[in-house]
Amino acid sequence: MAAEGKHLSLTFKAIAYSAGGFLVAWAAIKLIDTYFDPTLLADTKGWLLRAWNWLLLETPIPNWSLLMIIAALISTLTVAIYFYRTTDGTYGELHEIERKVYKMNNPQFPQLTDNQTLLMEALAYHANFRKIANLDSVCKLVSLSKLEVEDGLKQLQAKHLVKQKVTRGTFGATTFELTLAGKDYALERFELT
Tens digits of residue pLDDT in 168-177: 877 778 889 8
Enclosing H/E stretch for 133: strand 133-134
pLDDT at 160: 86
C-alpha–C-alpha distance, residues 93 and 81, integer Å: 19
CATH number assigned to the domain with residue range 114-189, chosen from the 4 options 3.40.50.970, 1.20.140.10, 1.10.10.10, 1.10.10.60: 1.10.10.10
CB 115 within 8 A of CB 100: no
Position 2: which residue type?
A
CB 129 within 8 A of CB 186: no
**Would you list the domain boundaries of the chain?**
39-106, 114-189
pLDDT at 130: 84
pLDDT at 1: 46
CB 161 within 8 A of CB 179: yes
Q: What is the pTM of this model?
A: 0.44
Other beta carbons within 10 angstroms of residue 142's beta carbon come to: 19
C-alpha–C-alpha distance, residues 138 and 143, integer Å: 8
Reduced to 3 states, what is the DSSP secondary structure of residue 132? coil
Those residues of the chain that have pLDDT short of 70 are 1-10, 87-92, 106-109, 191-193
